[in-house]
Amino acid sequence: MAMMDNALTKAWVKLVALGFCTAALASVHLAQPAWRLLAGACVLLLAGAKARLILGQYLGLKSSRFWTNVFDLVLALFLVAAFALFAFAKGG
């Protein structure tokens, strides 16, 4: 039980930390388009990391390697699509 508490608490601390990272990125105003693209990619990566933590630790998917991989793939595809659309708006 204590081990489960620790794992859950660690997940929460990581989520909060990732949230602060996102907030820090959001507060930075970048003039160069290339830097804005990079910042956008980082924001999406942070979102993906948070989503993985919730799926794995809160929802308990970490107990299944197969489903972790499936959701990782779906998440990755979604984030790549999101970044592609975001980048196209910048460059288009």
Partner 1 sequence: MTNRISPQEKSSVLDELPGELMMWVLIVSEILVFGATLLAFLAVRITDPARFAADQAVLNQVAGALNTLVLVTSGYCAARAVQETEAGRKAMSSRWVFAACGLGTVFLVIKGFEYWAKFSEGIGIETSPFFTFYFLITGFHAAHVVAGIVILLLVRGSNARVMETAVAFWHMVDLVWVLLFPIIYVLR
CA dist list (Å): 39 to 30, 51, 55: 8, 18, 24
Site string for partner 1, 25-54 (x = CB under 8 A): xxx--------x---x--xx-xx--xx--x
What letter would DSSP give residue 60? -
Q: Does 56 bind partner 1 (CB under 8 A)?
A: no
**C-beta neighbour count of 12 within 10 angstroms:** 13
Out of 6, 35, 72, 92, which residue is the one contacting partner 1 (CB under 8 A)? 92
Token pair for 53: 């933590």
- In the block, tokens 């930075």 appear at 28
> Which positions touch partner 1 (CB under 8 A)?
1, 4-5, 8-9, 11-12, 15-16, 19, 22-23, 25-27, 36, 40, 43-44, 46-47, 50-51, 54-55, 57-61, 63-64, 66-67, 74, 78, 81-82, 85-86, 88-90, 92
